[in-house]
Structure 1
């Protein structure tokens, strides 16, 4: 008979078979014995402690008692029928009660025998009882898995339970799996690292996570498995970064020429912050090494990322290359185009816009100028990655809000030159350091953590529904001053499930209670046709309307310096990241701006924390840290990033110190042994080559 290992299909494990294997695959994505061992318990029942009958009370969530079953009798009739047992220890007597499987229990339970009983104590008619207790015959000389341990509780589903794969059934399968393959599990983390970081062995950790004999054993197992999970993620990311830096040549930008200097000396609208200077210096160094740059620039709304990106593109032009910037929406691409054109002024260099709405004649002109090299900068949407868009010599690519693009879409830009262009990725979503280290571990990361001098912090306040008249009064005052206002709703139409102030009802209420004979309103939501949406947005941008009523479609892509008030309805329903992005739509002009968070009177603890965090802080990075703690890593702005965050043990909001420790360990490994050729690192190299994408997607930011 073949030896079973962790990679053996699950159907070959004792007690599984084809039918159970099929439901395990569909419900829990368990395909191999190893997958089953990585289906970790989500909590434990403490079976390490025994109580006496006299110690039991109804406040206990569960209790384990060792005693003897003295009597068993059937009482009641029909639906009221039940089986009652009398259970005794040296301190007293309690009742055990069953309402189901009565015939089977009468045959299988042994009156007079000693049992370990576990269940939730309740009080009925003044006496302690346990309903449907777990029963195990007590065998003093025999140590059995599942007795006198922290007993695992596994997540299951209704379909699994139909196949007896509830938590008890899964316990049995895991026990079989451990008995079958534990001795063959390879421990790929080198022995010297385990010793240095006081890690128990993998086999001991697997026993300790599934059937820990005590709390200390469990904690050692958790630490080992968290370390392991973070270790392999960081090893692969840092290896990719190292290999790609060697493998992929990059264009060398050796000159700082006329375009860069003219812009810096005569066109820069405000002095660069120290953070902008630092990031520009990092880009300058990267583009002069001869290796392809792959850098993430993250900065809060209004921190000046776009100016840095423009200066980097001008650097490319000074060295004889073309540059482009890709944005996820036509609105945002158009905004970048007009903003950059204004910054460049007249005669510095030509810039063009390419989107799905670009007329055919203009599109043809852009294609020709790209191919002959006379168009140095192109701004656009997905239209940039079409095959017919060919550059003469693309050397620098900027991708804005990169999480909104698929990996393959970004790769098409990467392939538009024989030597890949340098990549600068921008995100306005502040990312906590630990999340960035895991999500973008193979990129170099720059942070612009200062706002330009003179920018006034946005004042944020929280009002309940009963204070709406005060808000209306404030709106009137701001409009009289010539300011504009956003009002954002979470839904377009009324939802049967969510009692939210939706856009249509909100608009009706606004026009009834807040009549505006001299003012106009723009309405924008995601279900509008693109042309209509753009028309309404442009009316607001031009100042033809004073109030924009919208859904979160305006989260990214509207820049109206005159808009000084952001009102967010049902703000408790939004995540912190989204609230912060919405708030960033105001505060772009010289005047004081305000963000008003409207909510119902009843708030959950988490909802209250979110709103108070917004009132207390304008720092996107602090807000992101709170967000990470509240909801875990999840996805970045709603989009899962290539599976990097699919962690079963580690938690990026609580394991920051461990992640730093792991990353430093791996950096030390590569510093000492770049090609992993030392005998102690052979298993690391083997693990890295086991599986991996055929294309170096990780290189494409």
Structure 2
């Protein structure tokens, strides 16, 4: 790349040390290339003129007017002094106001002169005015720029004259000088396949826009190259991992798998479960290290697939480990799996933070001798004292709750890294899965077991609470159970507890003992107390479970038919969907009631409307991506892979797919990028990778 782009920002014409320093601190712009990659967030069409009469219909938007000044006056004194002018066109008049620079502007506002004016009207006491408009004499031609780029600025940048116009001036100057200085790195065949403009043309047109069509083509080109570099990074890492990491070979299905599959599976597998099990089986016998993500909505049967996978391990004389994020969930997995495998001669053990020291000693000894086939637990599995004889497979549930470093510790539990199956009940949109988990193979269970009825989801305002209580009483009378969940405000455990206890007392008045029995669970309780309350509910000894989101994962009570979510506007849509998944696990009709106050934001309304409209976790995930963006969904730990300036995973799904396919085609044809047409791509990819953190093999 040309040396021009390596120029420190302070040495560009019109910048200097002070402006350079604030551009770096406020916008991350350190050199000319960074400035060229500081893209406009919108464009204003300066070739069109509006009339004053049109302003009410264009509320909130800037307008360009053509007219004359019919009067100028100064009002106020001292700091309150301001300049007002009346601007007129053939359709009407509007007031212009300046709070600063009155003397300098007043001399320019000559009556009878035709002016071009640009600004954003605001409504004050039923009358529109424009504060601090841009105003210049009209020279009889359209605005010299036609389309004008608008850039993000900050208060500190603005103080140094780097408001949007100031930044536009710098980028305009730089973009005018780039001819012949930005090398193309996309192969000609790719440019032709997707009808993409050149890189140089894209950078010029995005900053000096000749038309909206040209801007759109420039944006598509830059988005595509951003996504292509990202996808190539992911596929290269995946290929390197596969080359470096040979995996244990699970040569046979084994007698344990065969017997369980033939005689002990409690219900018929869905086609999706069968397909995913075959994909995992193929990985485990391939001789390559498995690194697979298993996606499946709440209740889709991921645990059974995990059990079948672990049986492959036992049948090949390997041990397996299943790691869950909470003790509650680990215990539930232990009970479920122990019960499923009871007819077989397989030893299943549980290790959590509350496992007693005396029990640990016995467990560790049995584990190191290979007498325990499947170990289920929490973060306790990562401790150095946990030594396996022959660990071949690790299953990680709700994997986004574990940090990369934590997960990597499991790799060191054997001479070769064990195969890894990571599971999530949080559906991830395809574009995100291709990006965040691009170095994993992805399996999806997109089918619920037969007999599962869709949950009837309803939204009620506080004023309808009595209706909700009537529903609860009817369901309890039918022998069902009810969850009532309160939001968890991370900043204030005290407030969480207060909200929960106030709610508990109010519910107690409407559902008095001894007719109704209640359990209560919250984060401030001791683990044993929590476990006792949950056990009482699971055994049907209590009718209502009042809780914070501690029950989001890990509670499986088929008899529970109603989920009430209080202040549901304060939950993310994925969390609402997870909570809803706690009911609908039995054969009976189930309900999810979303309670809110009367005032809801537009975003809040969209979340609740989506929940009421669909039970499909993948549709919900798409809405979540649109509302929150990829970084928020995956969490800051995972969003470090994104360095996208223009591309948007929520809206550019087709481009993500095209970039993924192109990256795959290029690397299949030329894995080391040695062909002449890929030399510039290789250079650009190296430059791209220099700015990235070093990832662990487990994503």
Task: Please indicate, yes or no, whether the TM-score normalized by the shorter chain is above 0.5.
Answer: yes
Aligned counterpart, 1:622: 619
CA–CA distance in structure 2, aligned partners of residues 641 and 104 of structure 1: 53
Q: Is the CA contact (8 Å cut-off) linking 2:231 and 2:438 kept in structure 1?
A: yes
Runs of 5+ consecutive residues of structure 2 not aligned to the other structure = none
Map 1:139-538 to 2 at 5 A. Answer: 147-179=144-176, 184-491=181-488, 502-538=499-535
Residues 318-327 or 486-495, more deviating: 486-495
CA–CA distance in structure 1, aligned partners of residues 303 and 123 of structure 2: 68
Gap change, CA 1:537 and 1:129, over 3 Å in 2: closer
Residues 326-335 or 195-204, more deviating: 195-204
Map 1:3-18 to 2 at 5 A. Answer: 4-18=3-17
Gap change, CA 1:54 and 1:257, over 3 Å in 2: closer
Q: Is the CA contact (8 Å cut-off) linking 1:404 and 1:639 kept in structure 2?
A: no
Q: Is the CA contact (8 Å cut-off) linking 1:486 and 1:548 kept in structure 2?
A: yes
Q: Is the CA contact (8 Å cut-off) linking 1:494 and 1:502 kept in structure 2?
A: no
CA–CA distance in structure 2, aligned partners of residues 279 and 168 of structure 1: 55
Q: CA deviation at 1:649?
A: 1.7
Deviations 1:167-203 (Å, cap 9, x if unpaired)? 2232233234435667533332223312221112222
Map 1:536-551 to 2 at 5 A. Answer: 536-551=533-548
Q: CA deviation at 1:520?
A: 2.7
Residues 265-274 or 301-310, more deviating: 265-274
Q: Is the CA contact (8 Å cut-off) linking 2:631 and 2:639 kept in structure 1?
A: no
CA–CA distance in structure 2, aligned partners of residues 126 and 399 of structure 1: 61
CA–CA distance in structure 2, aligned partners of residues 475 and 86 of structure 1: 65
Residues 352-361 or 111-120, more deviating: 111-120
Aligned counterpart, 1:697: 695
Aligned counterpart for 2:560 among listed residues 553, 559, 563: 563
CA–CA distance in structure 1, aligned partners of residues 233 and 62 of structure 2: 44
Q: Is the CA contact (8 Å cut-off) linking 1:5 and 1:185 kept in structure 2?
A: no
Aligned counterpart, 2:132: 132
Residues 352-361 or 465-474, more deviating: 465-474
Deviations 1:425-471 (Å, cap 9, x if unpaired)? 10001112222112212211111111222223322233332222222
Q: Is the CA contact (8 Å cut-off) linking 2:52 and 2:89 kept in structure 1?
A: no
Q: CA deviation at 1:627?
A: 2.8
Deviations 1:502-528 (Å, cap 9, x if unpaired)? 323222211223323233322222343
Q: Is the CA contact (8 Å cut-off) linking 1:178 and 1:207 kept in structure 2?
A: yes
Aligned counterpart, 2:118: 118
Residues 377-386 or 685-694, more deviating: 685-694
Q: CA deviation at 1:530?
A: 3.4
Aligned counterpart for 2:677 among listed residues 652, 676, 680: 680
Map 1:574-653 to 2 at 5 A. Answer: 574-636=571-633, 638=635, 640-653=637-650
1:415 aligned counterpart, secondary structure: helix
CA–CA distance in structure 2, aligned partners of residues 202 and 508 of structure 1: 65
In the comparison of the two structures, how many residue pairs are matched? 695
Aligned counterpart, 1:102: 102
Gap change, CA 1:520 and 1:686, over 3 Å in 2: same
Deviations 1:242-272 (Å, cap 9, x if unpaired)? 2322221111111111111122122211121
1:647 aligned counterpart, secondary structure: coil
Deviations 1:670-690 (Å, cap 9, x if unpaired)? 232222221111222223333
Q: CA deviation at 1:4?
A: 4.9
Deviations 1:653-697 (Å, cap 9, x if unpaired)? 322222222222222222322222211112222233333599973
CA–CA distance in structure 1, aligned partners of residues 581 and 213 of structure 2: 47
CA–CA distance in structure 2, aligned partners of residues 295 and 452 of structure 1: 22
Q: CA deviation at 1:371?
A: 2.3
TM-score calculated relative to the size of structure 1: 0.89
Gap change, CA 1:399 and 1:392, over 3 Å in 2: same
CA–CA distance in structure 2, aligned partners of residues 73 and 225 of structure 1: 49
Q: Is the CA contact (8 Å cut-off) linking 1:493 and 1:503 kept in structure 2?
A: no
CA–CA distance in structure 1, aligned partners of residues 67 and 341 of structure 2: 86
CA RMSD in angstroms comes to 3.5
Deviations 1:449-501 (Å, cap 9, x if unpaired)? 112222233222333322222222222232233322110111479999x9999
Gap change, CA 1:251 and 1:68, over 3 Å in 2: same
CA–CA distance in structure 2, aligned partners of residues 151 and 161 of structure 1: 18
CA–CA distance in structure 1, aligned partners of residues 92 and 594 of structure 2: 59
Residues 275-284 or 37-46, more deviating: 37-46
CA–CA distance in structure 2, aligned partners of residues 94 and 510 of structure 1: 58
Q: CA deviation at 1:129?
A: 7.0
Q: CA deviation at 1:321?
A: 1.4
2:638 aligned counterpart, secondary structure: coil
Aligned counterpart, 2:30: 31
Q: Is the CA contact (8 Å cut-off) linking 2:403 and 2:637 kept in structure 1?
A: no
